[in-house]
């Protein structure tokens, strides 16, 4: 990725030099850097607000409520994981945190779940169906409250930054369904003996 960005930067400088517009390039870069700082400061404020609200929701028991709602679904999705295994608890917390838009809080739970699932792995170092499904589900992550996107929209000056709630819920739910179906189909196809 670093090579790609280096190439794009070098190409922009080369084209600007060839056209005699290096001053325009420099001015545009400085302007973009200034806008980036403005957006970042606004983002910090909005993220602080949303993380504070979500922390209040966590203290009020909303995360525990989400975990209770998610546990039966995860038991069906991961039948090979014992219900009382630490992996199941970490997966419940991971999915619950993603549901509430707490991506930063979901990451440690996802890592812990993967480590616990590795303990159940009969072939260490090779991902099991459960690990692949968790990775797909974590990537799709159904979100009820997309706090990061709302904060970005607010930082960019949106008049209604939270109007994306419905669309985000539908899109992330569709992504999660596709992730689960693809994981299950690929697990069956890859398990099928060859001719």
pLDDT for position 7: 93
pLDDT for position 43: 66
How would DSSP label each residue in the chain?
Answer: -HHHHHHHHHHHHHHHHHHT-HHHHHHHHHHHHHHHHHHHHHHHHHHHHHHHHHHHHHHTTHHHHHHHHHHHHHHHH-TTS-TTSHHHHHHHHHHHHHHTT-HHHHHHHHHHHHHHHHHT-SSTTS--HHHHHHHHHHHH---S--HHHHHHHHHTT-S-GGGGHHHHHHHHHHHHHHHHHHHHHHHHHHHSPP-
What pLDDT tens digit does each residue of the chain (195 aa) get?
789 989 998 998 899 899 999 889 889 888 988 888 877 776 677 667 666 766 777 788 776 777 778 788 888 989 888 888 888 888 888 887 787 776 667 788 888 899 999 998 888 888 888 999 999 988 888 888 787 778 778 877 889 988 988 898 899 899 989 999 998 898 888 876 545
pLDDT for position 158: 86
pTM: 0.64
pLDDT for position 33: 87
Q: Do 16 and 22 contact (CB within 8 A), yes or no?
A: yes
pLDDT for position 181: 93
d(CA 103, CA 47): 12
Output the CA torsion 139→142→147→153 (10° steps): 80
pLDDT for position 47: 65
pLDDT for position 162: 86
Q: Map out the domains of the chain as residue ranges.
A: 43-191
């Amino acid at each position: 990725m670093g090579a790609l960005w280096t190439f794009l930067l070098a190409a922009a400088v080369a084209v600007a030099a060839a056209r005699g517009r290096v001053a325009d390039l420099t001015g545009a870069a400085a302007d973009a850097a200034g806008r980036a700082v403005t957006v970042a400061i606004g983002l910090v404020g909005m993220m602080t607000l949303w993380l504070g609200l979500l922390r209040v929701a966590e203290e009020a028991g909303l995360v525990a409520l989400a975990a209770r709602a998610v546990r039966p679904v995860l038991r069906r999705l991961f039948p090979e994981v014992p219900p009382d295994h630490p992996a199941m608890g970490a997966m419940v917390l991971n999915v619950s945190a993603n549901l509430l838009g707490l991506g930063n809080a979901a990451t440690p739970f996802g890592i812990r779940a993967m480590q616990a699932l590795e303990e159940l792995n009969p072939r260490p170092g090779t991902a099991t169906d459960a690990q692949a499904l968790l990775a797909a589900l974590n990537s799709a992550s159904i979100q009820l409250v997309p706090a990061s996107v709302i904060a970005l929209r607010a930082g960019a000056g949106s008049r209604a930054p939270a109007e994306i709630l419905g669309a985000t819920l539908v899109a992330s739910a569709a992504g999660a369904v596709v992730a689960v179906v693809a994981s299950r189909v690929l697990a069956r196809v890859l398990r099928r003996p060859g001719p």
